[in-house]
């Protein structure tokens, strides 16, 4: 008898209802208003009269099982057993009585999790996976983020910025961190170095050729072995060839640097979503504390805090004062690298709608 076909056991995203705090479940979609009694605390009032307080705490994002257990104990002992994570890796704990808010804050603070990240604060950096989960990082995104947030923690726990500030960080130039008011991204500045002895064994050459956005890679025979070659005049040092072909190493301790970009946002509140723009490049990839990155981000934050109008996002502020003023006010040097004069895309950018892996 033929075996029954194996059925897929993937059932998609689980329904969130079973994870909601009972007050949220009961009043789902039926809220009257919300406010923020203090930075890091949200207060929602339902039409039924029910109330719920949410306390937002920073986490170190990449947590070991011991940290998670301790935080779950805090959730059980002080927060009625319910938590959720925000997209920026903050944790939110819900309570249905106001009297439970302060003991919860005290427990989280004592555990080393600062309270904040709401309203016009600098919330936790949304950063990419780095060494832990990804195969192509050029730096440790979480390390640079931790070093930076240690220095600007007061901006997380207070709401003193003109508007919310959302930071992102990406550990390669593919930039899975997305757009941010300030983005801290790795930038490669030299074409990949090819280990020709390995390409034929490791890489599927047509896939690698197709991967290059500017058609700079060609198949080649090197020392009698099938390999690849790169037209370095065309190469834009994006690093896209490295994931499908690790012998095309692009990470370099000297030439893979940090760059800081400003003015990106996803939301369409008041103005349309925007891409961030390069404001500083060639910043050393300098672990374990990356002081040069933190210094530049702090310069930008301080100029924005001083000069922007209330409720102006970082990019709106830069657009209003003009980019020459932005460089004057932040004290950052304007160099030839800020001028986007690359025109290769007109002739050879791979702009097809095909999805490539
Ligand atoms: S930014 Fe790049 S290296 Fe970092 S996790 Fe995303 S794809 Fe991987
Ligand atoms: S994929 Fe990017 S790094 Fe690789 S050769 Fe093409 S442009 Fe250069």
Q: Which of 29-38, 106-115, 234-243, 265-274 has the lowest mean pLDDT?
A: 265-274
Residue nearest to ligand 1 atom 6, measured at CA: 176
Rounded Cα distance between 14 and 80, Å, is 22
Mean pLDDT of 214-242: 93
How is the chain split into domains, by residue range?
A: 16-111, 126-189+253-344, 193-249
Q: Quote the ligand 1 centre to 263 CA distance (angstroms).
A: 21
Query: What's the confidence (pLDDT) of residue 174?
Result: 79
Q: How far is the CA of 241 from the centre of ligand 2 (A)?
A: 6
Reply yes or no on whether the pLDDT at 357 is more than 60. Answer: no
0.85 surpassed by pTM: yes
Is 228 near ligand 2, meaning CB less than 6 Å away?
no
Q: Please tell me if the CB atom of residue 208 comes closer than 6 angstroms to any atom of ligand 2.
A: no
Lowest mean pLDDT: which of 130-134, 164-168, 183-187, 237-241? 130-134
Q: Decide if pLDDT at 261 tops 90.
A: yes
> Which of 89, 133, 176, 211 to probe ligand 1 with, by most ligand atoms within 8 A of CB?
176
For the stretch 22-61, pLDDT in tens is 999 999 999 999 999 999 999 999 999 999 999 999 998 8
The CATH number given to 193-249 is 3.30.70.20
The CB of 238 under 6 Å from ligand 2? The reply is yes
**Domain 16-111 is found in CATH 3.40.50.300:** no
Check for a shared fold between 16-111 and 126-189+253-344: no
Indicate whether 348 pLDDT > 70: no
Reduced 3-state DSSP string for the chain: CCCCCCCCCCCCCCCHHHHCCHHHHHCCCCEEEEEEEECCEEEEEECCCCEEEEEEECCCCCCCHHHHHHHHHHHHHHCCCCEEECCCCCEEEEECCHHHHHHHHHHHHHHCCCECCCCCCECCCEECCHHHCCCCCCCCHHHHHHHHHHHCHHHHHCCCCCCCECEEEECCCCCCCCCCCEEEEEEECCCCEECHHHHHHHCCHHHHHHHCCCCCEEEEEECCEEEEEECCCCCCCCCCCCCCCCCEECCCCCCEEEEEEECCECCCCCCCCECCEEEEEEECCCCCCCHHHHHHHHHHHHHHHHHCCCCCCHHHHHHHHCHHHHHHHHCCCCCHHHCCCCCHHHHHCCCCCCCCC
Model pLDDT for residues 304-314, shown as the tens digit of each residue:
999 999 999 99
Ligand 1 centroid to 130 CA: how many Å? 6
- Over residues 188-220, the pLDDT tens digits come to 999 999 999 999 999 999 999 999 988 899 999
Q: Which CATH class is domain 126-189+253-344?
A: alpha beta
């Amino acid at each position: 008898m033929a075996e029954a076909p194996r059925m897929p056991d993937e059932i998609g995203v689980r329904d969130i209802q079973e994870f909601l705090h009972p007050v949220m479940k009961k009043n789902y979609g039926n809220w009257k208003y919300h406010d923020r009694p203090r930075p890091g605390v949200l207060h929602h009032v339902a039409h039924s009269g029910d109330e719920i307080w949410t306390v937002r705490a920073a986490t170190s994002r990449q947590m070991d099982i011991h940290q998670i257990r301790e935080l779950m104990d805090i959730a059980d002992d002080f927060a009625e057993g319910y938590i959720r994570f925000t997209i920026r890796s903050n944790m939110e704990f819900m309570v249905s009585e106001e009297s439970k808010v302060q003991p919860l804050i005290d427990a989280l603070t004592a555990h080393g999790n600062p309270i904040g990240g709401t309203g016009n604060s600098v919330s936790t950096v949304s950063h990419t996976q780095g060494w832990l989960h990804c195969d192509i990082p050029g730096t440790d995104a979480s390390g640079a983020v931790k070093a930076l947030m240690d220095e600007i923690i007061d901006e997380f726990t207070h709401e003193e910025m003109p508007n919310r500030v959302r930071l992102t960080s990406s550990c390669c130039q593919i930039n899975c961190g997305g757009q941010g008011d300030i983005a801290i991204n790795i930038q490669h500045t030299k074409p990949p170095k090819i280990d020709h002895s390995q390409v034929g064994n490791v890489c599927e050459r047509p896939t690698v050729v197709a991967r290059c956005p500017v058609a700079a890679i060609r198949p080649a025979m090197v020392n009698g072995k099938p390999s690849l070659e790169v037209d370095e005049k065309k190469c834009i040092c994006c690093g896209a060839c490295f994931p499908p072909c690790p012998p095309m190493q692009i990470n370099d301790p000297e030439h893979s640097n940090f760059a800081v970009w400003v003015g990106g946002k996803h939301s369409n509140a008041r103005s349309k979503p925007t891409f961030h723009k390069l404001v500083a490049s060639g910043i050393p990839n300098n672990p374990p504390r990356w002081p040069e990155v933190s210094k530049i981000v702090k310069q930008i934050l301080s100029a924005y805090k001083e000069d922007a109008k209330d409720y102006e996002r970082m990019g709106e502020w830069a657009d209003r004062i003009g980019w020459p003023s932005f460089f004057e006010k932040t004290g950052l040097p304007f160099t030839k690298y800020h001028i986007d004069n690359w025109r290769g895309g007109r002739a050879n950018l791979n702009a097809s709608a095909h999805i490539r892996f």
